[in-house]
Structure 1
Amino acid sequence: MPLEVTFLLVFGWFCCKSIAVPQKDKIYVTKGSEVILNCSNKTVNGIRWSRMLYGDHSRNFTIYTDGTSINPDIENKDRFKILKDKSRGKYQLIIRNISEYDEGEYRCSYFQDNIFSAYDVSLRITRYPSNIRFLNENKAFISGKEGSELTISCLVDSGDPPETLSLQSTDGLYIVGGPGRINHSLRLTYHSPRINFTCKAINRHMTVPLISKVQLVVKYKPRVRLKEGTQLTLKEGGPLVLTCNFSCYPDQHNISWHHPSYDVDESINIFRDIRMLEIYPVTKTHTGTFTCKVINEVGTGTARIYITVQYPPVVNIKVSRMDNILKLDCIPKGLPNIYTFEPWEHTSNTGQHIRFLNGDQNGSLILNQTKQESILQDTGIYICSVSNGITDRNDKLRQTKHTAISCKGPPIFGNKIQAVKYGTFAQTTILNFEVYSLEEVDMVIKDGFNQQKFVVSEIKEQNNISVVIHGRNIYVEGFNIKIKTKPLTGEDFGNYTATAVSHFGNTTYHFTLQSASLPLSPYNNLYRIIYQRYGSTIKLWTFSRHNARTTIVHALFDDTRDFILCTNVFKNKLGHSNFTEVLEVTTIDTSRLSGAYVSAILCAVCILTIFTVAVFHNKWGQQKVLPDKGKERRCRMKMEHKCNIGYQVG
């Protein structure tokens, strides 16, 4: 270095009046480029360029130039050049083919107006930021649990000049920071389960920023909702379908249905995030709260629905007795519990309708049993009918319940009670009585003088009898009582009382015993046979005093004889009599008989018939026969299982 330059430098540092604070500037260049460092635009003395390396904490400067002279001791001195235009006050240091070695602090020092001044320039090689990233990133995702505090941090390896960082998100966030790092803190909520963040880094020498993206995923426990809502009303017997919708992150690892009293079948299908619970048929046991429970690693989510199952009433009957009052309470239990009661039905024990009875609005029926003679009539089946608008599985709207009621009252005589009974003089007679009673009864027969009469034996048989119950004729299980008398005398005919005696009371009715006889045997009978060819059907006409009857007997065959037993019967209340005749019929070929021959036979039969009628009419015309609608006349044949018919072949 020239001596004058060294002397000037020493003189400037130690002999000047004052030292001005250096001005500072910073210049960024790229590798291999050329840079011009300007010093002053004024005429100055003792100007020079010196350099301090980066990282040199001793602050030692190396002199690069003195005026227009380049220090020959510096490295790569050929890349340095001084441009000086004193008239214009310019003093420039030119550095060509910039490398990292050239970075540092350059100082231009000079004297001006006896003041030592300096101009510092920081020469930097431009470096772009790199390795932009999000802290705690895992495959472009950052996760956290709902309700927690989370900081989103974007990092970058800074460049030179320093970069500017920006952070924006899909939920409207936009912040600027850096260099090197930018942070954003937020509380995680279910309402923003997924947020996309974009971080950008750029400096003034970049045209395209560095970009990094990440998605914030909020882990939250299952949010569960039932498609059908929180309440549902169904009818018993129908289907129940519940749909459990849910969302969660991460995915569920367990889904289940629960009911306080019903064991839910877990063999149900899951379709994506929907689970269907199907129950058929629904019963009243399904009433209650169904819960869909979904579990993931964050927690448990549930949804509940209350199921109301409407069902037809289940009916019970409560029977209460107090003094002469019988009370029946119809007690239904169904849903809805608003009931419509139909009239009570009273039937016999065998199901025959007796009557309808109106109860009160609450379904109660009161029977006032103050009449002793009619208490037994209240015995039977009482049916309560009620509805609440819900049909059962058989689509039946009315539901019923029945109860059997036994009322201990006096016996009731059957409908076949007769005001007049008949007997035969000097013969025993059977007197028939039908009595309805809940227990065995005894019959007491008394005459007009209240004296028991002529009973020889008594036979009791249980049988279905017809009685009048509350004005209707029905059949009930009662007693058929047969009383056999001694041989009747003239004094035995007259008025009597028959009393049925039981522990629950007595019932009496009056009758008259009159004298009568058996009916006469049938008479005035004519059996007329019309012959036809063999293989034809025989028609038999039976004539009597009262009417005629035609009977088809059977078909005759060639060379056969038939024996036909025909019986005519008369019957009255004391018994019956009959007339029997056997006819022999032979098959002939009617084609061989002349018309005159057949006519002669018919005339003979007619004359014989007229004679027979006249004889019987004179003999029995004066005898009395009781009129009876029960007269019966029949022709019985063996081929119909009741007649004696002989059949012989040739």
Structure 2
Amino acid sequence: MHTFILKVQLLLILHTLGIKCLNTFKENTTLFVDNGDTFVFNCTCFSGNESAWKGPDGNDTVLTAYSTGRKINPYLNIPNIFIYGNYTIGKCHLEIANYSTVNDGIYECSYLLSGNLHIQRYNVFSKRPPKNLKIMEASENNAIYGKEGVRIELKCTVKTGIPASTLFLSKEGLTVSYGRSDILLYQFTPTRLDHMQNITCYALSELLTAPLSQTIYLDIQYGPSLKIIQQTNESNIEGESVKLCCHSNSNPNVHYIGWAMNSHELNSWRQRGRMKVDGTRKVFCLRLSPLYRNHTGNHTCIAENSIAKSNSSIAINVLYPPDVKVSYKISDERITLHCIPDGKPDSYTYYDWKHKSEFNEDIRTIHGTPEGQLIIKKSHSRKANEDDGIYVCTVFNGVPDLQGNFHQEGQTFIESIGKNYKPIEMYILLS
């Protein structure tokens, strides 16, 4: 056997001795073969001493001599290897019948041609599909757990096939990473929008009839996101009802949700004991019935889970009819009365003043200013008590009172004593 190996190595010895005149040409080819196939490699040869085949024999590093020319190594113990050819046409073929994984390796043909050394190397592998694909961080129920804003790294592994398969990671059908290796990484910072989304790792190979894959879902924890919806008429008129509903979205679900105004809690719900709260959404409503003017202000929904505490506010502006007061100022020349309404909205229409007797009998109607002022000039020719009586101011701001009246009144009483006047402010009357 040693003699045969020496003959096979003769080409390299010749190359060494003729180093000044010989050139070396190398060619590498990678091939993938189906198990059970018969495969033929071609090599140039014009005589037995100018070509040789070498190949694997259970050793990954050292190649074994297969033949010189068409003469096969008598010590070669590989039953499915055949060497044949024709020196006349310059071909020496190496045939592997019924190919299997034990035939994987490097096959090398060396030959001399026109004073140059040619080396043809074939890297041959049996085709194998990928297997054992797995997303490493997945739980038994195929979930990946994370928290909003905290970076996640996914690692998909596979026992890669031959030829190498291509790994893909897709999120809701959109490819986010890919590569031709046995490990594929994907890093991202999740938000609440990623909760319950699917991520799939799959391997594509020509040897697979369907992709090798695993799908997981994301379980992302996040604090409450709040949205307030007013479910009743938004006019917010005093005496009517208002329903405010706070819609919370969080994972895990909230263990507290409540309503407050000016830091004072109005109503709330708390998870008690081992009470289980499923899902991510909760709705908690506040009803203000009847609505009063002191409900004007910011109403705040507060919600809390194990991740964070959140709040959201809505401004309630209660509309109500004016309370009307009448002020006055007396001088030697005139009596000036001012109508002072207090309501929402604070845009008012003032009607003519009414002058009545102390017995509430109508005396006259007097036109005042658009700003609600009435000026009565004194006259020496008039009787001393002619201007005595009740003065009534009537105001409108478009909002009815609880009895449905749109016009609100305020009044005062003025009484003369000799040439002097004794004004008396009256209590507010609504009509």
Shorter chain as denominator, the TM-score bin is: 0.7 to 0.9
Instruction: Show the counterpart of 1:62.
Output: 64
Query: In structure 1, what residue type is equivalent to 2:106?
Result: E
2:82 is the counterpart of 1:108: no
d(CA) in 2 for partners of 1:12 and 1:172? 56
Task: Show the 5 A alignment for 1:58-137.
Answer: 59-66=61-68, 70-71=72-73, 73-75=75-77, 77-96=78-97, 98-113=99-114, 115-134=116-135, 136-137=137-138
d(CA) in 2 for partners of 1:174 and 1:201? 14
TM-score normalised by length of structure 2: 0.74
1:216-247: CA deviation from partner (whole Å, max 9, x where unpaired): 56665554444459x94321111112344454
User: What is the deviation of 1:283?
Assistant: 1.1
In the alignment, is the contact (CA less than 8 A) between 1:369 and 1:375 conserved in 2?
no
d(CA) in 1 for partners of 2:6 and 2:288? 109
Task: Show the 5 A alignment for 1:23-62.
Answer: 23-30=27-34, 33-46=36-49, 47-52=51-56, 56=60, 59-62=61-64
Instruction: Show the counterpart of 2:319.
Output: 310
Cα separation, partners in 2 of 1:253 and 1:304, compared to 1, 3 Å: same
Query: In structure 2, what residue type is equivalent to 1:13?
Result: L
Aligned equivalent of 1:288, options 297, 304, 307:
297
Task: Show the 5 A alignment for 1:371-390.
Answer: 374-375=383-384, 381-390=390-399
Query: In structure 1, what residue type is equivalent to 2:208?
Result: M
Instruction: Return 5+ residue gaps in structure 1 as ranges.
Output: 411-650
d(CA) in 2 for partners of 1:377 and 1:326? 13
In the alignment, is the contact (CA less than 8 A) between 1:373 and 1:409 conserved in 2?
no
SS in 2 for 1:206: coil
1:379-426: CA deviation from partner (whole Å, max 9, x where unpaired): 65554433323221122233233445454349xxxxxxxxxxxxxxxx
d(CA) in 2 for partners of 1:6 and 1:182? 45
In the alignment, is the contact (CA less than 8 A) between 1:345 and 1:384 conserved in 2?
no
In the alignment, is the contact (CA less than 8 A) between 2:247 and 2:281 conserved in 1?
no
d(CA) in 2 for partners of 1:64 and 1:267? 85
Task: Show the 5 A alignment for 1:468-479.
Answer: none
1:30-53: CA deviation from partner (whole Å, max 9, x where unpaired): 55x254342415434234433346
Instruction: Show the counterpart of 1:358.
Output: 366
In the alignment, is the contact (CA less than 8 A) between 2:323 and 2:342 conserved in 1?
yes
2:18 is the counterpart of 1:20: no
Instruction: Show the counterpart of 2:407.
Output: 398
Instruction: Show the counterpart of 2:160.
Output: 158
Cα separation, partners in 2 of 1:171 and 1:100, compared to 1, 3 Å: closer
Instruction: Show the counterpart of 1:425.
Output: none
SS in 1 for 2:28: strand
Instruction: Show the counterpart of 1:488.
Output: none
SS in 2 for 1:282: coil
How many equivalent pairs are there? 401
d(CA) in 1 for partners of 2:204 and 2:173? 23
Instruction: Show the counterpart of 2:356.
Output: 346
Instruction: Show the counterpart of 2:182.
Output: 180
Query: In structure 2, what residue type is equivalent to 1:360?
Result: G
Instruction: Show the counterpart of 2:262.
Output: 260
1:106-161: CA deviation from partner (whole Å, max 9, x where unpaired): 33334444544433333323332223234544444446566666665543222222
**Which structure has more RCO (C-alpha within 8 Å, separation ≥ 6)?**
2
Cα separation, partners in 2 of 1:106 and 1:312, compared to 1, 3 Å: same
Task: Show the 5 A alignment for 1:140-289.
Answer: 140-142=142-144, 153-170=155-172, 172-173=174-175, 176-183=178-185, 196-215=198-217, 221-228=223-230, 232-245=234-247, 247-249=249-251, 251-260=253-262, 264-266=266-268, 273-289=282-298
In the alignment, is the contact (CA less than 8 A) between 2:44 and 2:111 conserved in 1?
no
1:81-105: CA deviation from partner (whole Å, max 9, x where unpaired): 3334444444334445555443332
User: What is the deviation of 1:284?
Assistant: 0.9
In the alignment, is the contact (CA less than 8 A) between 2:198 and 2:215 conserved in 1?
yes
SS in 2 for 1:235: coil
Cα separation, partners in 2 of 1:148 and 1:382, compared to 1, 3 Å: same
In the alignment, is the contact (CA less than 8 A) between 2:393 and 2:410 conserved in 1?
yes
In the alignment, is the contact (CA less than 8 A) between 2:326 and 2:339 conserved in 1?
yes
Query: In structure 2, what residue type is equivalent to 1:346?
Result: K
User: What is the deviation of 1:273?
Assistant: 4.6
SS in 2 for 1:331: strand
Instruction: Return 5+ residue gaps in structure 2 as ranges.
Output: 271-276, 420-431
SS in 1 for 2:294: helix
Cα separation, partners in 2 of 1:181 and 1:384, compared to 1, 3 Å: same
Query: In structure 2, what residue type is equivalent to 1:286?
Result: H
Query: In structure 2, what residue type is equivalent to 1:255?
Result: I
Task: Show the 5 A alignment for 1:512-523.
Answer: none
1:156-214: CA deviation from partner (whole Å, max 9, x where unpaired): 22222211223444475476422223445556566776654443313343343212334
In the alignment, is the contact (CA less than 8 A) between 2:58 and 2:102 conserved in 1?
no
Query: In structure 2, what residue type is equivalent to 1:14?
Result: I
SS in 2 for 1:156: strand
Query: In structure 1, what residue type is equivalent to 2:119?
Result: A
SS in 2 for 1:8: helix
User: What is the deviation of 1:333?
Assistant: 0.7
Cα separation, partners in 2 of 1:364 and 1:261, compared to 1, 3 Å: farther
1:1-57: CA deviation from partner (whole Å, max 9, x where unpaired): 384x355345433234346344333333455x254342415434234433346775x
Cα separation, partners in 2 of 1:265 and 1:208, compared to 1, 3 Å: closer
User: What is the deviation of 1:282?
Assistant: 1.0
Query: In structure 2, what residue type is equivalent to 1:399?
Result: Q
d(CA) in 2 for partners of 1:242 and 1:383? 40
CA RMSD in angstroms, aligned pairs only: 4.2
Most deviating of 332-341 and 13-22: 13-22
SS in 2 for 1:159: coil
In the alignment, is the contact (CA less than 8 A) between 1:45 and 1:111 conserved in 2?
no
Cα separation, partners in 2 of 1:261 and 1:326, compared to 1, 3 Å: farther
SS in 2 for 1:161: coil
User: What is the deviation of 1:292?
Assistant: 3.4
Query: In structure 1, what residue type is equivalent to 2:259?
Result: W
User: What is the deviation of 1:215?
Assistant: 4.2
Most deviating of 231-240 and 210-219: 210-219
User: What is the deviation of 1:309?
Assistant: 1.6
1:311-360: CA deviation from partner (whole Å, max 9, x where unpaired): 11112233444447554433211122213234234343xx4425245262
Cα separation, partners in 2 of 1:253 and 1:91, compared to 1, 3 Å: farther
Query: In structure 2, what residue type is equivalent to 1:38?
Result: F
d(CA) in 1 for partners of 2:56 and 2:281? 70
SS in 1 for 2:12: helix
d(CA) in 2 for partners of 1:303 and 1:7? 89
1:474-498: CA deviation from partner (whole Å, max 9, x where unpaired): xxxxxxxxxxxxxxxxxxxxxxxxx
d(CA) in 2 for partners of 1:263 and 1:251? 21
d(CA) in 2 for partners of 1:389 and 1:27? 91
